[in-house]
A and B are shown apart, each in its own frame.
Chain A
């Protein structure tokens, strides 16, 4: 098969779409006004962001006044959790509940707050990366300020039971935040029906530009200001609005939330073809829940293979993939998410994440299915660990229990 270029890392970022770019461009040049200015050029910019806010609110089923623009998902996560603890901590509520597979934007915020005197419960996930509403119920205490559970995991694609967790939080009167960065556009979201109080979203995962996102804050939820200054974002986050980015975000959210069931079904079909095809390779393992899974996520570990080598060789064959979260690529430790599933280091080191989208074609899938086994074989041929596996060495037997059989 002829070499192709395949972008299979949509969970890392996406290209700005033509539709989004068209929505942005006028606001960089002719429509450059400051929304706070009194003259028509400024008023037009203000009108534009009002409409953008309405579009986003429509897409997730909330009111426009409940949308706060941020620089992206990480900022929204930081703000939501710190804000809840700052406001409720004063009333003695200094307990946070989250999971051990969250994005670092949540985990590192929690670690910071622990140093400030908060107590954090990190709920363990099961072998597929799921927590249950019951676990959340059992962890809630008198002094719990907020529960933060991600909608869908960025590495392994597992989709959490958000509605049920939200229901428990409502019952117990505890704030519920979800990082929905990977879920928007892949799962239909209605914040009211899903009992969500705070929700973080990012633009660049859904074809908007990098550096824009939003936090949904249910009316009445106590908030602190993130940036002090002007009256932008109702004084909560000062600073002149990034009008072109906001226009692009609104267009991206609208586009992403159109026909989700049809799009997701088609993508899931390609995903399943990838999973079924790649797991024919001996000594591998699908990471994440097979059923409760993002439509575009494939995460597979190959024993005897090291993840970075795999990615470099896939790249040499034109395939952009990732090994766990790109944010952790500076670290040598395997992904905290894979370790949280209970995987031994040997299995976690050999992981590959492919994240496809509705732009992926059947031909792309054919090409990936042809390339991955060859690349794995090439790496294993020079791997002393694979040699140990073939020779049935004792040291590797524990790891062998986590993967498919050799023959």
Chain B
């Protein structure tokens, strides 16, 4: 089984927008949310347990972002099949065969700070609120466009590549087994996680 990998377009978001942007997935478990302030309607997957797990991961990611401000980050959403390996003595190992991976690239930016009063000339009347609002509006419009492009990218990928999707698991869940990998406290550890996954899944061309 081939492991299809999709690198989504990078999204530039502010800290408070992370939670909203991260709630999506694909391949049998489209997962969105509806944000009233956005002109992009998204849909939830409808599974409370799934949503809860995703929320936990999002919180962990936000914690990481707070420790590493102004850094580009990547979240990996992987779908896999559980295969049992050849049982050895006293060991019954199972392995995960990843058949699809999505890399969500985020560039978390910090909001511009308001002008400090000490740098402000007393006779100059500055209204930072208005300019900040306008700037934020422009930025959110750009984010909306980018988000829409990413969603179209997902739809296109999903519609083009469906043969690699395994059969729907019989455990009754609404989605395939999945795994969300967020960068850990250190970048090197994050890279090691990715390396470990590669070892587990093997090179995509090696899989039949």
Do the two chains bind?
no
Question: Which residues of B pack against A, CB within 8 Å?
Answer: none
